[in-house]
Amino acid sequence: MEKIWLEKSYPPGVPFDINPDKYPSLVAMFTKYTVQYGDRTAFINMGASISYTELAQQATNFAAYLQQDLGLKKGDKFAIMVPNTLQYPIALFGALLAGLTVVNVNPLYTARELEHQLKDSGTKAILIIENFAQTLEKVIDKTPVEHIIMTSLGDQLGLVKGAIVNAVVKYVKKMVPAFNLPNAVRFNAALASGSSLDFIPVDLCGDDLAFLQYTGGTTGLSKGAMLTHRNMVANLEQAKAAIKPMLEDGKELVVTALPLYHIFALTANCLTFITLGGTNLLITNPRDMPAFIKELAKYPFTAITGVNTLFNGLLNTVGFSNVDFSNLKMSLGGGMAVQRPVAERWQKVTGSRLLEGYGLTECAPMVSLSPYNQESYNGTIGLPAPSTDIKIILEDGSEAAIGEAGEMWVKGPQVMKGYYNREEATAEILKDGWLATGDIGCMDEQGFFKIVDRKKDMIIVSGFNVFPNEIEEVVMMHEGIVEAAAIGVPHEATGEMVKIFVVTKQDDLDEATLIKHCRENLTNYKVPKLVEFRDELPKTNVGKILRRELR
């Protein structure tokens, strides 16, 4: 398919191509900009801030500790299981400086989910927030993890404030369940130790693995997408190229409410804004909307990213319309479809257009984005990012005509190396450099793309991928279940929610019991909200359950 979007719709100032080898690694990028923007504030969290110079020093201390004290070597896997706090960027860049591959972990994972990810990735060391240490304690003996570094929410907020926050979290709010991990080292102690150790620079190239970013699959448990330093450099350069005409170096403050362990915020906020000398305002708990809005009111923020759920939540919280939006230049939605009513109301309240992006974990993640000069919501996922090609493939393997729907295939320097230790799954999705997205889309005469359906059975809840197989596997763990099928059904707040259909062998098994069982084994967003009991489930002639028919 001809790249008609380049000539017909690409906005002024956005290049057709980027250089994915602009920096040999994320470490080279980080070093360049922490020197260039040394005195600028890099991150803010709970009123505390860290400059670019301080971030580079702390990260180097952490890297020295990982190398010298823990003995970790280039390519070893290091897990970060921490919410949006100053500890995250320090640990992230410390691990990358040490040449490690970062494994991002959702702190809300259940023991079962955590065990799978740590074992599958071969993680050797983990940084974990103590609020969820109890989960790690349950599985630590079944994983290859040799070293545990423990942190508390207030550890980077200064001696007095940090101590107060930690005491309130632990003893007043009782948010830290009892745990026993006797060999864990405290994060601040690790930094102190590293400050007196020698950091040895690691030779990194674009092909080295930066992240194992876990995502679901059409079958079985989640898989680690192998994202190289080149993949990540390419995608941050693509994101920067698409939004740069709106922004100024050294003058931006981006609101980071999505967790940095999610690939969207990691690339769009953390990495991209470092190259702009921007400040990331880290929101630790965006679900507390009144507190979130109070935080917004304190800062002259110029950009905000989020999922549709987040924007909708803010719009429906008292006090949001009174926030000062006079500095806001860019609002970017991704992770799930942006809904027209939300986009239109957002623009009316804030005066800022809500641009929509589309991406996948396997693409680091950005594939397309609304052009920065788009005047209002248009229902599309925008135009392919620079150096990105998209084609629409029909069932017979031929390429679709303009306006014709088919599976979207993506090609570009941001496409992952493959799934970690999953050759078969990699072969299913990567074909001669093209990534088959599983999303059904079409392209219009101006080169704008639109998602019309999903080929996969994936469910998207508030921007997080939920794969039916995993839900069904957990449901089937209940002794009263004969068969189970999971689908996504529309939900006003989260886009979709999980519904399960079950055939039981226990007449007294009820919805509450099943949901409780799921809650013990699944992160909250994956837990079914609806249960339908049936005598049988629709199947193909070979016995495969027809989820499409259930939908």
State how far the alpha carbon of 294 is from the alpha carbons of 41, 319, 345, 349, 388, in Å: 20, 9, 21, 17, 39
C-alpha to C-alpha distance for 77 and 126, rounded to whole angstroms: 9
Establish if 385 belongs to a structural domain: no
Q: What percentage of the chain reaches a pLDDT higher than 70? A: 98
What's the CATH number where 534 sits?
A: 3.30.300.30
Helices 308-315 & 340-350 angle (0-180, nearest 10): 50
pLDDT at residue number 1: 65
- Residue ending a domain, among 204, 229, 254, is 204
In the predicted model, what is the mean pLDDT of residues 102-125? 96
pLDDT at residue number 216: 63
Residue 542 has pLDDT above 60, yes or no: no
C-alpha to C-alpha distance for 255 and 457, rounded to whole angstroms: 32
Please write the tens of the pLDDT for every residue from 487-514. Answer: 999 998 899 999 999 999 888 999 999 9
Establish if 5 belongs to a structural domain: no
In the predicted model, what is the mean pLDDT of residues 93-109? 97
What pTM was computed for the model?
0.88
Establish if 234 belongs to a structural domain: no
Q: How confident is the model at residue 298 (pLDDT cuts 50, 70, 90)?
A: very high
In the predicted model, what is the mean pLDDT of residues 257-278? 97
Per-residue 3-state assignment (H helix, E strand, C coil) for 376-435: CCCCCCCEECCCCEEEEECCCCCECCCCCCEEEEEECCCCCCEECCCHHHHHHHEECCEE
Give counts: helices (H), strands (E), the chain: 18, 27
C-alpha to C-alpha distance for 505 and 503, rounded to whole angstroms: 7
Residues 6+ apart with CB under 8 A from 180: 137
Residues 6+ apart with CB under 8 A from 196: none
Establish if 422 belongs to a structural domain: no
Residues 6+ apart with CB under 8 A from 165: 46, 152, 153, 154, 157
- Residue ending a domain, among 183, 204, 225, is 204
Establish if 105 belongs to a structural domain: yes
Which residue from 32, 13, 29, 33 is spatially nearest to 21, judged by alpha carbons?
Answer: 29
C-alpha to C-alpha distance for 544 and 457, rounded to whole angstroms: 13
Residue 540 has pLDDT above 80, yes or no: no
Please write the tens of the pLDDT for every residue from 236-257. Answer: 999 999 999 999 999 999 999 9
Establish if 28 belongs to a structural domain: no
Please write the tens of the pLDDT for every residue from 51-70. Answer: 999 999 999 999 999 999 99
- Residue ending a domain, among 179, 204, 229, is 204
Please write the tens of the pLDDT for every residue from 301-356. Answer: 999 999 888 998 899 899 999 999 999 999 999 887 787 888 999 999 999 999 99
Please write the tens of the pLDDT for every residue from 370-407. Answer: 999 999 999 899 999 999 999 999 989 999 999 998 99
What's the CATH number where 79 sits?
A: 3.40.50.980
CB 97 within 8 A of CB 202: yes
Please write the tens of the pLDDT for every residue from 439-491. Answer: 989 999 999 999 887 667 788 899 888 878 789 878 988 989 888 899 999 99
| CB-facing half-sphere around the CA of 29: CA atoms within 13 A | 28
C-alpha to C-alpha distance for 229 and 231, rounded to whole angstroms: 5
The parent domain of residue 539 ranges over 459-550
Q: What is the DSSP string of 210-228?
A: EEEEEE--SSSS-EEEEEE
Provide the domain count of the chain: 2
Residue 424 has pLDDT above 60, yes or no: yes
Residue 217 has pLDDT above 60, yes or no: no
> Torsion angle of alpha carbons 87, 172, 181, 149, nearest 10°?
10
For 447-548, strand residue ranges (E) read: 449-454, 459-461, 464-466, 481-491, 495-504, 530-533
| pLDDT mean across residues, the chain | 94
C-alpha to C-alpha distance for 504 and 496, rounded to whole angstroms: 25
